[in-house]
């Protein structure tokens, strides 16, 4: 049995920030325009600034996802960074699967494109979290 004291909180903080920064890259320069098309949004027509929730909510989500990976990594106690990455990948697959379900709404213009980009982000992000946590383990 683990307790929250058993978790390396500095590693969690770094990994959550990495997950968050990946999102900033993923949904802006890497896949931003394609993701916008998938939801029927035209970023070039928007002249206003995004509200603070646009930045805070993904940070909270990254922190929660990172904490889940950290808890499962602590429970499983993988031997190496590869094992921690595998834990992150497994959780990423679960989140990606849920994303596929949520994408199929009648209001999403390109649901499969939306699902692929969003699910891919969580798959890569959780794996990255596992790698970071594994690097600090031991």
Domain locations in the chain?
A: 4-136
pLDDT by residue (tens digit) across 49-101?
Answer: 778 998 999 999 999 999 999 999 999 988 889 999 999 999 999 999 999 88
39 vs 11: CA distance, rounded Å: 34
Radius of gyration of the chain (CA): 16
pLDDT by residue (tens digit) across 116-138?
Answer: 999 999 999 999 999 999 999 86
Q: Give yes or no for residue 47 having a pLDDT over 70.
A: no
Print burial letters for 19-34: b (CB count within 10 Å at least 16), e (below 16): bbebbeebbeeebbee
């Amino acid at each position: 049995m683990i307790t929250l004291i058993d978790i390396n909180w500095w590693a969690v903080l770094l990994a959550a920030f990495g997950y968050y920064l990946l999102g900033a890259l993923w949904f802006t320069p890497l896949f931003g325009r394609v993701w916008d098309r998938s939801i029927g949004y035209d970023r070039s027509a928007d002249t206003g600034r995004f509200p603070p929730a646009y930045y805070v909510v993904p940070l909270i989500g990254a922190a929660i996802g990172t904490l889940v990976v950290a808890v499962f990594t602590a429970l499983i106690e993988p031997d190496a960074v590869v094992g921690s990455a595998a834990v992150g990948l497994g959780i990423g697959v679960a989140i990606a699967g849920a994303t596929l379900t949520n994408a199929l709404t009648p209001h999403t213009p390109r649901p499969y494109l939306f699902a692929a980009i969003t699910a891919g982000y969580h798959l890569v992000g959780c794996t990255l979290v596992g790698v970071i946590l594994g690097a600090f383990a031991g």
